[in-house]
């Protein structure tokens, strides 16, 4: 896969209490990814963008919630997230502070 397509695989990091906790304890980071991305593409994209070594990639499909707007029902879009486990000694710094 070329670099141009790899740069579009990751949509953004997931920053929440749960993702911060797993980052501190297990060296795992959560990302929102494209729905058509596979594990190999996600691994290559993370290694390209953050210059780290990825040990493992776990992927979860998240179903959109059914929401109610007055008398009408609607549904949010389905999306995919990836949990990235890094090799020991590797770290991702989202803030870019040195």
Alpha helices (H) along the chain: 3-6, 17-26, 39-50
If DSSP codes are grouped into helix, strand and coil, which group holds residue 5?
Answer: helix
| Structure confidence by residue, pLDDT tens digits, 62-88 | 999 999 999 999 999 999 999 999 999
Residue 95 has pLDDT above 90, yes or no: no
Backbone angles phi, psi at 38, to 5 degrees: -110, 175
Note the pLDDT of residue 41. 96
Better-predicted residue by pLDDT, 65 or 92 = 65
Helix or strand or coil: residue 10?
A: strand
Tokens at residue 59, please?
């992927």
Q: Which two tokens stand for residue 19?
A: 């993702």
pLDDT at 96 over 60: yes
1, pLDDT greater than 90: no
> What confidence score (pLDDT) does residue 97 get?
53
CATH architecture for the domain at 3-86: 2-Layer Sandwich (3.30)
Q: What is the mean pLDDT of residues 87-98?
A: 78
- Residue 29, strand partner residues: 84
Nearest-10 Cα torsion for 6, 9, 13, 18: -120
The model's pLDDT over 31-72, given as tens digits with 9 standing for 90+, comes to 999 999 999 999 999 999 999 999 999 999 999 999 999 999
């Amino acid at each position: 896969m070329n670099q141009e397509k790899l740069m579009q695989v990751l949509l953004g990091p997931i920053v929440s209490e749960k993702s911060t906790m797993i980052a501190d304890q297990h060296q795992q980071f959560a990302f929102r990814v494209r729905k058509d991305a596979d594990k190999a593409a996600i691994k290559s994209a993370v290694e390209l963008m953050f210059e780290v070594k990825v040990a493992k990639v776990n992927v979860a499909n998240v179903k959109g919630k059914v929401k109610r707007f007055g008398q009408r029902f609607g549904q949010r879009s389905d999306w995919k997230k990836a949990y990235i486990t890094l090799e020991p000694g590797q770290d991702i710094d989202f803030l870019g502070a040195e």
